[in-house]
Every structure is written in C-alpha cells, then in structure tokens.
A and B are shown apart, each in its own frame.
Chain A
Amino acid sequence: MLRSVPRLLVTVCVLAASAGCPDPVVADGAEGEGEGEGEGEGEGEPLPPPPFAISTKAEVAWKRHRAVESDLLAALALEKGELCNELGLYSCVDFVHQVPLGGNDPFVKSQYEPLARPTVTTPIALERVVLSGCVARVDKDISGPAEVFSTLELSASSVTDVEADATAQLLARRLLARELTDAELVILRDLTDDGDGNAVSARDFAITTCLAIGTMVETVFY
C-alpha cells in the first residue's frame, strides 16, 4: 500500500526536526532516499542553530494517551471505536498501547503512576494509532461525503502540487492547529511521487501526508 515509505520516513524526520520553526533549516542529507550508508544518528552535518532565540529551558511536556486520542479523533472526525482497535476488540489507546502512550492501568495491573518519560516503543505505538486513524478517515471519505479530505479527488491516480499543498495545509490546521510554512509544504510535496518518479495515488498521498503531519514532534510534545 505505502510504496513511498522510505521517502515518507525522510519527510517525517525533517518535519520533526523543524517542528515549530517557521522557516525550517534542512540538513544537507535530507535529499537522500532514506537508505544511505550513514553510520546512524549523529553522523553528517549538524543542523545549524535556528536564526532566532530559542528556549533555554530545554524541556517539553509529553502529551499523553488521552490527549493524543482526543486530538486525533477531533482532527480526523472519528468516533472512539474507529481509532485503532486490536482485532477489532481492544483499544490501542486504552489497552494495547496504553503504557507506551503515557497512560497507566491502576485497576488491573496496579500501575498507580504512568511512565515519567516515553519509551522506545512510544513512537511505534503512536505511528500505529495515527496511521489507523488516517486510513479510517480516508476510507470513510472515499465511501461517503468527504469530511476531512475535501481538497482531493481521492479516487485519482495522482495529485497535483496545488492539491497537495491544500491537503497538507488542511491537515496541519486540524492536527497541529497551525498552518504549515512554505518550506514544510515543499517537503510534503515529495509524497506525491514514490521516489522513482511514479505518481502516487490520491488515497496513498492522503494517508502518508496525514501520517507525516500527525506524528510530528509537536503532536506529542508541547
């Protein structure tokens, strides 16, 4: 389904690094395909400092499971039961991924306090939940009147830059409560092709863009 995953990962990383910056600085290596020969994190040119004052408190708060869920449901116009259910039975937020998403179960598991910090599985759980919501919303919009993806013809086999920008901006308003910068829009246009020059369907573009924006740093930390 998601043929553009390598490109998507690069996009997500760049968007994460530039979260909150109106004119994000893009690292030199950002144009790669996501499968290079780097040695891992820390390799390559470090991002230069932003050209404005930044917080010296160097802290963010973790937006935990319930707020993440509430924000996703509102942004994607979904009901609670439509968002990530394991086997269609167990809520990812309330049960399956409750702890890595920042919740706790005092009643059955005697977890009287949630984790202080995100775990290594937090990004994985978050991506699953967001992706579930994005797929659910796109499919509902395909089968009925579009409630969210009104800027796309979801049955189309390709997406224009104008449609891409409008869709990304619409999603950013709903998921981030802000508008994207021009630089961010340019990055997201990459999702209109699969990296080999082949057009991506409108459905896949909608899902990957939704996932990219919905998993940005600022959707989980504040």
Chain B
Amino acid sequence: MKALVPPFAVLAAVAAVAFGVDAQARPTGPRLYCAHYDDTPACRGAIVACTQCHTAPPELNAYGVDIVTALTGPYDDVLGEALVAVEGNDSDGDGLSNLEELVLGTKPGDATSFFAAPPAPSGPTNPGFDVGSYDPAFAHRRAMIAYCGRSPTFEEREAFAEAADQRAALHDAVDVCLESAYWKTEGLPRLADKRIRPLQAINVDGVIPLADYAWDYRLFVHALTGDRDARDLLVADYHVDANGTVVTGVIAGSGDQQVGGQPLAVDKRAGMITTQWFLMIHTMFSELPRTTAAQAYRAYLGQDIARSEGLLPVDGEPVDIDNKGVDDNETCIYCHATLDPLSYAFAHYNGIGGGGGNGAFNAGRPSWAPTAIESAILDVPLQNVHERGVVDWARTAADSPLFRQTIAGMFMTHGLGRPPRPDELDALQDLADRLADTDGYRATALIHRLVDTDAFGVP
C-alpha cells in the first residue's frame, strides 16, 4: 500500500491549469464514468458514487489522482482515455489492478476494499453440510429462519431429508413462509423501517399526533407480497386499510390537518412517497422539500446524496430558488445541481400544516412560478409538476434499473444476512434483471430465485 499519495488538491489544481479542467465544475464525472464503464458493478443499476475517485469531493483518492494525472486534455473530453490509461495501475496498492477492482466491484482507490474468492473446499466429505455445492437442507434452514422467523423442527428436517424432490420441498416451504404472519408483520416491516422512518411520539396515537405511519407499513407489505407489483411502492394510487382492503381516494382524518387520514386524490398519489406520514415527516415546514426528495431517492433508488451517490447534475442548476445559498460554486452545487431538480415536484405538497391538511396537495404551494425551474429525475425532465405532482417522478423511478437493483439488493442482503460479496454481484444483477423481465416485478418471485442462488444455498 502506498504510504502517502501526493497532495490531491495540488495535483488536481495542476491538471486544471494544464488542461483547462474546471476544478469547480459540477460533478459530471459519475455520468461520464458510467458511460464508459456501464457494465461494471458500480454502474449497473446504480450511479457511481463520487467516492470512487474522491475521499470527500473535491479531495481525490489514490485512484482519482492517477486519473487526473493521466488527463491529456479537457476533463469531459478525455476522461475515457484517462480511465483506460490507469486500468493496469494498482492505485491503492491492495494487490488488485484498477481494472480488476472495477470488474469485481471493489474500490480501486481504497486499499481496504478488495476481494479474493475463497478456494474450493477440500478433504473428505463433510457429514453435516454439502460444502462447496448447493445444499438444499442448508438453504431450507436459512429460508425458514429468514422468511418464517423460526428454524425448522427436528421433524421438519427429517421430512425434508426424505423428500423426493428437495428443491420443490424448499420452495413449498418458502411459499408458506411468505404468507406467514411473521413475514407480513415483522420480517417485511423491519425492511421498511429505514424507508418509513417512524416516530411514535408524533404518530396518530403519540403525544403530538401528526400522521399515521401504519398506512405506510401496510402498503409496503401489500406491494411486496402475493402477486403484487413491487413498483406499487412508488406508483400505487391506493392505500391499504387496517383490514387489508385496498382503498382509493381521500381518506378523512381528524381535525383541520386531517391527521391520520390520507388527503390525496388518486391523480396525486405516488405510493410510499406521498403518504401523509412521508410528506409530513420529511417536508415538515420546507417550501422546497429537499429532505423529502433525498429520502425518496435514497429509500427506493439506493442513491444517498449525502454520501455523494446518485449525482446527475442538471445544467443551470441549482438556481437557488428559495434563496438558501445553495448555488455556492465551491461547495453546495456539487449536490444541489442534482438534489434541487429532484425536489421541485415535491414542493406542491404540504408537510406539516397548510390548506387541505398535512401532506395535502396544495395549489398555493410553492411561492415561485413553476416555469422558473426544471424538475428532473435520472436525467428525465418532468413536465407540469405543478399539476401532476410527483406522479411522473415516481413512474420514472419505478421503471428505472436503480429501483429493481435496490429491491433485489434489499432482499438479497436480508436473505444472506449481509450485503452480497463481489463474487455474488452477478447473481444480484440477475435477480434485478429478472424481476423486470420475467417476474412481473413480484417480490415473491424474486425471493424464490434468491433461494436458488449459490450465494444463498452453498455453505
């Protein structure tokens, strides 16, 4: 490992002067990078994070320094050539070339990020597990714990061992688990927690009642069970009541702010990201609800802008429409050129307070003229957001590779009890692709495929 790399900022500045690189440029790097390496794990169903080349932008890591050093002209024109030029380097000194790391999905600028595939098991047959091969009994126990919330009993293991078709028996068990009370009331809701971000104190039964997150949990579970389309997480125009019944339209709450209800008409609904709770807890009193958009982007597309992920800047942005100073060229624009265009569509919904109640669509919001801004997500401009709200935002997101990668990643990480490793990323990609191509976006189908992967079933 290199003891110390040269001062990154100095190198970047030298390159900027020599080649006309705009050192304060908006982060065009991720888009250019993924255009070049579109089939690497960092770009499949994702937008490469700034941390691929930076420690914390604009500071470069060792890989970023090598790239900047290899630039022979203006950054946007020659980045591809520079990337190729440093493929054979081992910038971080971890023993893997940059290209090897790109293919594996490890970080070429981080010496602590590397991977070596484990060797094949050797020796006499293990009496307990079929190590190194798919072991249906191992997968059966893992699936029962993951989806039924309990281990198989002695009798169940005996019966499984004697099953004529163990794979079929495994999938039968998974079917039962995916309809179990555990999966619907605990397993799936715990996957929803960080997406809903509940807080009992301000729930409808809390000390300061503002909304009811039970609606959110019910919709999350509904969309990911049965034969439902997982994209309903983002595009559902309905809710699910306490009896499990699908209901549409405005649902009355209590008081002027309609607390505990759902104030949106069908044409303004967009799944989990327009529930009263989601809009209340994230927008609160903001005129431009950046936190709301950032959470939607993070929770359902896997892109955390706070971690320099998912940056796709829009030309001319941010315009700092709410005078918060986010057009500061040296700091804020790196994220806000992406974040603000993501946020404009949410500005038409109340957070806490406002006409129509918490989370209502409010024609009086925001104070600026809609033509003054360009709303966009994933490089797709959105039209008429003052009328359509985030409906098109949500549809674009739901149909994107990032959504299916996020859903596949969520279930794979849960099923394995850890994130997938580099040698399992192809399996993750396959799960994401098939979710869209052949599984009709059914989470239950994805889980059945997951159980069949070597990542899940090979001890």
Contact = CB atoms under 8 A, between A and B. Distances in A.
A67 to B, nearest CB: 5
Nearest to A59: B418
A113 interface: yes
Interface stretch (A37-45, A47-55, A147-155, A203-211): A47-55
Contacts of A71: 150-151
Nearest to A19: B128
Contact of B118 (A57, A106, A178): A57
A194 B323 CA distance: 76
Contacts of B125: 52-53
A67 B201 CA distance: 28
A61 B118 contact: no
Interface string A49-81: 001111111110111001100110010000000
A83 to B, nearest CB: 14
B141 interface: yes
Interface residues of B, number: 42
B410 to A, nearest CB: 12
A198 interface: no
A97 interface: no
B132 A222 contact: no
A112 B194 CA distance: 5
Contact of B128 (A21, A58, A63, A173): A21
Given A53-B121, A61-B416, A22 B142 contact: no
Interface stretch (B152-160, B284-292, B369-377, B381-389): B152-160
A116 B417 CA distance: 8
A177 B152 contact: yes
Given A107-B199, A222-B145, A52 B182 contact: no
Interface in A1-38: 20-22
A66 B186 contact: yes
A110 B125 CA distance: 47
Contact of B153 (A20, A55, A74, A112): A74
Given A22-B128, A112-B197, A56 B149 contact: no
Interface of B: 118-129, 131-132, 141-142, 145, 149-154, 156-157, 182, 186, 190, 193-194, 196-201, 203, 416-418, 458-459
12 contacts: A53-B121, A53-B131, A56-B118, A56-B120, A61-B418, A63-B151, A67-B149, A106-B196, A108-B201, A112-B194, A113-B194, A173-B154
Given A55-B126, A66-B149, A177-B151, 4 more contacts: A56-B120, A57-B459, A106-B198, A174-B154
